[in-house]
Amino acid sequence: MEIFFSTVNLIIVMQDPLFWIVPAASIVALVFARVFYVSMKKESEGTPVMQKIAGHVRKGAMSYLRQQYKIVGIVFICLAAVFAVMAYGFQLQNAWVPVAFLTGGFFSGLSGFLGMKTATYASARTANAARTSLNRGLRVAFRSGAVMGLVVVGLGLLDISFWYVLLQIFVDYPDPLQKMCMITTTMLTFGMGASTQALFARVGGGIYTKAADVGADLVGKVEAGIPEDDPRNPATIADNVGDNVGDVAGMGADLYESYCGSILATSALGAAAFMLTGDADMQMKAVIAPMLIAAVGIILSIIGIFAVRTREDATMKTLLGSLSLGTNLSSLLIVGATFAILWALQLTNWALIGCSVVVGLVVGIVIGRSTEYYTSQSYKPTKKLAESGTTGPATVIISGVGLGMISTAVPVIAVVAGIILSYWFASGFDFTNVSMGLYGIGIAAVGMLSTLGITLATDAYGPIADNAGGNAEMSGLGEEVRRRTDALDSLGNTTAATGKGFAIGSAALTGLALLASYIEEIRIGLSRLGETMIQIGDKAVPVHDASFTDFMTYYEVNLMSPKVLAGMFIGAMMAFLFCGLTMNAVGRAASSMVDEVRRQFREIKGILAGKAEPDYARCVAISTRGAQREMVFPSVLAIIAPILTGLVFGVPGVLGLLVGGLSAGFVLAIFMANSGGAWDNAKKYIEEGHFGGKGSEVHKATVVGDTVGDPFKDTSGPSLNILIKLMSMVSIVMAGLTVSWSLF
């Protein structure tokens, strides 16, 4: 015991003092999350009717989440058992993998749960605050959304710093350089737990919310001609529940794994880049640098959150500007802070690595602004999309598909430029310096996500504002209050689309970093099998000294390799297959909802006259069953695909799979998210009074477009970025099996 504590003390002393900023910042984030939560709870929930509606939504959301976690829990137990057999039975994995996998899933789920709990309490309070002023409603909604943002970054960094210190204590490896590589690759495995939980949350929540939304819109708006969120619509409560389980719990789990994945992958690349130099001190600095950048980003996100406010007569552009002020302020401050951190660490080539971080920030801003331009009704593309409704729903759908396809150009070019520039800077303008170049791409992803605290706050704000509008409508709060909540809701549609674009963009850079980290896991897998040398042409190279290029040559990874090409086609197919499965799942669940709403309108007399109360619980139960039934197969398929590809085509096939999935999935996700967001806001533009306003034929046409776009933007599209990273994480975790055996 005395030896143990002396070892702990030694490791703590050996850490760079700057490292302790990481756990400290995570605690600060959680403290402020608590402060914002308590502040929100002090607000009044409004009239008894408002409280009753909020209670229904809260009960439905919690009930669904309990059911989801039961199913996910079974999946996690089965996967952990498989990992345990591989680790303890066949020694193909590190012994820490099963435990790390479970903790990653737990914290990802916890982030979603806490965010959703806050959102279900905040919606009625936002509506009640909007009775006073637009600014007060915005402040309540946004700071409630900030709870989600700060919980995600706080729990993420706390988990990362905990595992980093723990593995420093318990991992016993004679060479400190190889030990650090072992630690960072082991930490990547809790990223798989987070990704698995996130995919179930996104897919299940997306199916739930869109089944309810489609049913409510098609039967309520189009067939019955009643307003959105009208209490006479039986699917209204289920729709509001869905906003929370899909866009809050799902998005929280999604960005938790993006955040952790980018930091962990970059740390692993930093360990690999400096392993061959023999400089253990510089290696440690490269490992903790992404953690420190993320930690400082937390503090600056909090500053940005306090900067968000607006005035009563605010237009949509003014409201967007209010949120942009906070995010832009945080982004500008992080630039200076990044260079200060890297200078303080005295990391090799610190100034140019800092430029890579700036590149990531700029790419994130470009993607966000591009998404805003193509999806906000303040700009020409969405206005033109609304105008296409004058010739019917078919032209709305055609125009929306075209808009989404065109909108992929700017994000793709931005990411390509970001990859090249971040690689170029970090490598010291030497494209042959692969290890440092890849580290630059990883740290660019960290830069993009460094201000996630406020970025996620703007995203979580959306469903809170949406639910507030629903509560205001069902409670009959009057035209002026509804005008304010509509403004907040329209803003939320744009911020949600921007958040999805941001998540997809970060997935592209993080996916590349994970792809590079896979090679490092291959190195460890070979070592675990007792392989000490690999043959590169006529030269035998020690496994521990082999570069990325050496491994590419050894496994014959090139564009003419049939294994690589086969993997690329399978990866591209997976993106489309996954979208098809999730879209059809929404269609089946929505059909059941449409039938139920029609039945209630037909059989429960007096609903449309407002003399009878619909059976809300029945619709909630339909969405819950549909989501639980439909979410399992697509999610499990994402786990099985890289394992089977590895067993058949080996390492080259897996690398091809990851490249194909990343490239096809990234572009497809942007297309779907932007088309869906534009259809939604085109409908909102009509509802503001343009082209005939609510109830007109143009309005009905745009409602149909919005209905098509619902699974695009809230189910299939946002799930793709998780698919990309989950396949990478599974490949990393199963690398030992892939290395030991494959059919070809």
Q: What is the pLDDT of residues 552-598, one digit of tens each?
A: 999 999 988 999 999 999 999 999 999 999 999 888 888 888 888 88
191 and 257 in contact (C-beta within 8 Å)? yes
pLDDT over 50 at 43, yes or no: yes
Contact 410, 366 (CB under 8 A): yes
Tell me what percent of the residues of the chain surpass a pLDDT of 90: 31
Distance of alpha carbon 326 from alpha carbon 152, whole angstroms: 18
The span from the CA of 225 to the CA of 307, in Å, is: 41
Distance CA 552, CA 532 (A): 17
Check residue 6 and give its pLDDT.
47
- Among 392, 426, 389, which Cα is nearest to 681's? 389
End-to-end CA distance of the chain: 50
Please check the confidence at residue 490 and state whether its pLDDT lies above 80: no
Give the separation between CA 227 and CA 610, rounded to whole angstroms. Answer: 13
CA nearest to 367, candidates 551, 502, 226: 502
Please list the residues that pair with 534 across neighbouring strands: 541
Check residue 190 and give its pLDDT: 77
Q: Residue 686's pLDDT band (boundaries 50, 70, 90)?
A: very high
Least confident stretch, 139-153, 385-399, 407-421 = 139-153
Among 173-187, 289-303, 516-530, top mean pLDDT goes to 289-303
Q: Output the pLDDT for position 344.
A: 92
pLDDT in tens, 333-380: 888 999 999 999 988 889 999 999 999 989 988 888 898 899 888 889
Question: For the segment 6-26, what is each residue's pLDDT rounded down to a tens digit?
Answer: 444 544 545 678 899 999 999
Mean pLDDT, range 672-695, rounded to an integer: 89
Per-residue pLDDT at 325 exceeds 80? no
Q: Which residues of 315-330 are buried (b: 16+ CB within 10 A; e: fewer)?
A: ebeebbebbbebbbbb
In whole angstroms, give the CA distance from residue 38 to residue 186.
37
Q: What is the CA radius of gyration of the chain?
A: 25
Q: What is the pLDDT of residue 4?
A: 45
**For residue 126, is pLDDT > 70?**
yes
| Residue 667: closest CA among 450, 414, 399 | 414
Say which range, 268-282, 295-309, 490-504, 712-726, has the weakest mean pLDDT: 490-504
Higher pLDDT among residues 206 and 229, named by residue? 206
The encoded tokens of residue 536 equal 């590169």
**What pLDDT, on a 0 to 100 scale, did the predictor assign at position 452?**
84
- Whether 495 has a pLDDT exceeding 70, the answer reads no
- Could you please report the per-residue DSSP string of 594-614? HHHHHHHHHHSTTTTTTSS--
pLDDT at residue 294 is higher than 60: yes
pLDDT band at 502 (very low <50, low <70, confident <90, very high): low
Quick one: average pLDDT of 719-734?
87
Distance CA 673, CA 11 (A): 46
* Whether pTM exceeds 0.85: yes
pLDDT of residue 35: 94
**What is the model's pLDDT at position 8?**
47
CA-based nearest residue to 147, from 123, 111, 106: 111
**Under a CB-based contact definition with an 8 Å cutoff, are residues 586 and 577 in contact?**
no
Q: What is the pLDDT of residue 310?
A: 67
Position 312 scores a pLDDT of 61
Q: Identify the residue with better confidence: 242 or 518.
A: 518
| Average pLDDT taken over every residue of the chain | 86
Examine the pLDDT at 110 and tell me if it is beyond 70. Answer: yes
Per-residue pLDDT band at 284 (split at 50, 70, 90): very high
Amino acid 548: pLDDT: 83
Give the tens place of pLDDT for each residue, 439-461.
999 999 898 888 888 888 887 88
